Amino acid sequence: MKKQPFLILFTFVLLLASCNPSKEVPNKEVLAKRVVAIGLDGISVNGYQTAKHPNLDQLMAMVLYLSIQ
């Protein structure tokens, strides 16, 4: 039980240290108008590697090509 006050104090110090006190205005440059997130749930790595997914492969190749340019 003696560790609990130390843990609370340590957490409080970490929270204070993580605050950003600077007054800088963030850059408001828009990097993208839209973002698409694709999630695959309930599939194992082995299942993904053995399945055929030409549309996802084409989409990933296109995104990789666009990010390199």
Statement: the pTM of the whole predicted model exceeds 0.75: no
Q: How far apart are CA 28 and CA 6, in angstroms?
A: 40
Q: Which of 38, 42, 44 is nearest to 57 (CA)?
A: 38
Q: How many domains does the chain have?
A: 1
What pLDDT is recorded for position 21? 65
Long-range contacts of 42-45 (CB under 8 A, 24+ apart): none
Q: How far apart are CA 36 and CA 56, in angstroms?
A: 13
pLDDT of residue 9 exceeding 70, the answer is yes
Tens of pLDDT, residues 17-68: 777 666 666 677 777 777 777 787 888 888 888 989 898 888 888 876 666 5
Q: How many angstroms from the chain centroid is the CA of residue 8? A: 28
Instruction: Note down the domain range covering 63.
Output: 33-69
Q: How far apart are CA 11 and CA 13, in angstroms?
A: 5
| Domain assignment present for 25 | no
What pLDDT is recorded for position 64? 64
